[in-house]
Structure 1
């Protein structure tokens, strides 16, 4: 079964699967591997550091025949960073967590596809207002950052699909195997944006110890909180929290976020613990689908596996019980 959707037709990819542009994980090699597998690989440029982009974007752009994209944090990146990335010829630009309006003109000027992530209905409406070509509906099960008062993927996606029609929607949050991709399609989405599962792949820019923790992790080990952003001195807007695996600083400061924010020595203590190897250099971002991750394949093979699994799940659902 070939899963053709508005997303695959718009982006020119074989499978309705996109790599979430995860900062610190989704570099050029990972994006290129996802594109080789028939999905849309996206580089996670975050705030848009030029040196980092100049190192990673050429890896994604090495095959001009394969579409790829790049993602930015709308609250942290500048328009110049987006314009710099566009010089490498991405097929799509994704904007998350903040107002996409300042960037939309630059993306449209070169004919790239504008993808905007929404974590609530207000953000979905804003994505429509700025003319997004694709909208990502992210449920609170997702790893990494998301809405502090978000909604679960299952009820959120179809509401967004109805709200923004006819704009195609990608479902995100808690998707790590073919059944999850099939569920996204059944909810009316045109595909799935997958994050945590791609962290445990051969090409991901992830510390080996973090990969091991993801493979061994369980959904109940994950937690959505602001503690690690505050401890790191990260300027993430308060409306967004982050889902991660367990961490000593969560245990130390859980429920005392105001005290943490007011403690001038907390960040120095965090940085010292990172330098001494007491805690990982980055939080271990992971979503509730972590239970489904049991191996570390190549990303290209994973895309094919997700697509095949989705086709099998949809076929099984239509056959019914035997």
Structure 2
């Protein structure tokens, strides 16, 4: 069983499924499970925290059982030294998202490592092609976690990137949580799907039990893209990126008042005090619009194959129609 695409052929994987390198939650165990399941696991190192990487990188590199794996970084938050240290573990791919990938692209390619660049608009897509990206991820605004503050929806955005990038393989991201979404993405001309929220609700994800429960119980209409929680947390995320999350008490209090929140240190201290009391989640519940489709916490290795089987069924049904 498996769907053969340019992506599966490039990496020698069975299924056209990649794990979104979600900062902090896509740890070594989840990365390894996705790769063992026949997809491409991508470790979510985010800002390249050295203590986190020292713990999680070996779990990924040693746990994949010889299968390819990779690592993802937020381009705005790292320096070249972080990438160099990651390359020492010989990942099959390095993925760069959010910010200018230029300072890192040549070093990754010189190492013989596949360069994946995630884009949220056509300007970023053209920049990725100019830098020689081997794979492009086209992220729609339905995606959970961070993305373009004023992004485009997956359905119309992805095929435009496919046309622009050809013959470079493209993965779709944003609002894909089951095999029907994978099938729809393939029908748009991509070579696979990069999936985040669905893999947060798995046995291997590095998330608190309350977060996993919130995702399983969540509804798409309860998600919204905002900067309130980044401002409240004193996060350094650039203003051009917002984050799609489930509901949050602090968001209800400050929705639409980002500038006022940024200018009110007492409010940010109130957020920290609420964290200390345990009255708000330790982290926002990042979740995409397809969260309604998530009802259980399976093994990520099993989930990869299940997603592909569902996609094959959906494509077969569409063909019969």
- Give the SS at the match of 2:73: strand
Q: What's the CA shift for 1:265?
A: 1.7
Kindly indicate whether the alpha-carbon contact (under 8 Å) linking 1:47 and 1:78 is maintained by their aligned counterparts in 2: no
Q: 2-side partners of 1:247 and 1:192: how far apart?
A: 29
- 1:229-248 per-position Cα deviation (integer Å, ceiling 9, x unaligned): 00000011111110000001
Matched, 1:133 2:166: no
- The Cα offsets for residues 32-52 of structure 1, whole Å up to 9 and x where unpaired, read as 000010000011011101111
Aligned pairs for 1:86-235 within 5 A? 86-235=87-236
How far apart, in 2, do the equivalents of 1:209 and 1:65 lie? 33
Q: Could you tell me how far apart the structure 1 residues matched to 2:81 and 2:272 are?
A: 30
Q: Which residue of 2 aligns with 1:305?
A: 306
Give the drift of 1:164.
1.1
Deviations 1:209-259 (Å, cap 9, x if unpaired)?
A: 011010000001101010000000001111111000000111010011110
Distance 1:108 1:303 in 2: 28
Structure 1 residue 108 displacement after superposition: 1.1
Is the partner of 2:262 in helix, strand or coil? helix
Distance across 2 between alignment mates of 1:257 and 1:86: 38
In the alignment, the residues of structure 1 paired with residue 271 and residue 169 of structure 2 have an alpha-carbon distance, to the nearest angstrom, of 42
3-state SS in 1 of match to 2:118: strand
Give the distance between the partners of 1:280 and 1:12, measured in 2 at CA: 39
Offset of residue 64 of structure 1? 5.6
Q: 4+ runs of 1 displaced by more than 4 Å?
A: none
Offset, 1:157: 0.3
- TM-score, normalised via structure 2 length: 0.98
Q: How does 1:30-109 map to 2 (within 5 A)?
A: 30-62=30-62, 63=64, 65-109=66-110
Deviation at 1:2?
A: 3.1
Q: Cα deviation per residue 1:52-106 (whole Å; 9 max; x = unaligned)?
A: 1111011111146210000000000111001111111110000000010100122
Note the residue ranges of structure 1 that are not aligned, 5 or more in a row. none
- The number of aligned residues is 320
Partners of 1:287 and 1:153 lie apart in 2 by 12
Matched with 2:24 is 24
Give yes or no for contact 2:36–2:65 (8 Å, CA) kept in 1: no
Q: In structure 2, list runs of 5 or more residues that go unmatched.
A: none
CA distance in 2 between partners of 1:275 and 1:95 (Å): 33
In the superposition, the TM-score normalised over structure 1's length comes to 0.98
SS in 1 for 2:77: coil
Name the residue aligned to 2:8: 8
Whether the aligned pair in 2 keeps the contact of 1:121 and 1:160 (CA below 8 Å) is yes
User: Following the alignment from structure 1 to structure 2, what is the Cα–Cα distance between the partners of residues 318 and 285?
Assistant: 35
Partner of 1:268: 269
3-state SS of 2:18 partner: strand
Deviates further, 128-137 or 266-275: 266-275
Q: Which residue number corresponds to residue 319 of structure 1?
A: 320
Q: Please tell me the root mean square deviation across aligned C-alpha atoms, in Å.
A: 0.8
Q: Determine the C-alpha separation between the residues in 1 that align with 2:244 and 2:124.
A: 20
1:114 is paired with a residue of what secondary structure?
strand
Tell me, yes or no, if the aligned pair for 1:182 and 1:310 is still in contact at 8 Å: yes
Displacement of 1:266 in angstroms is 2.2
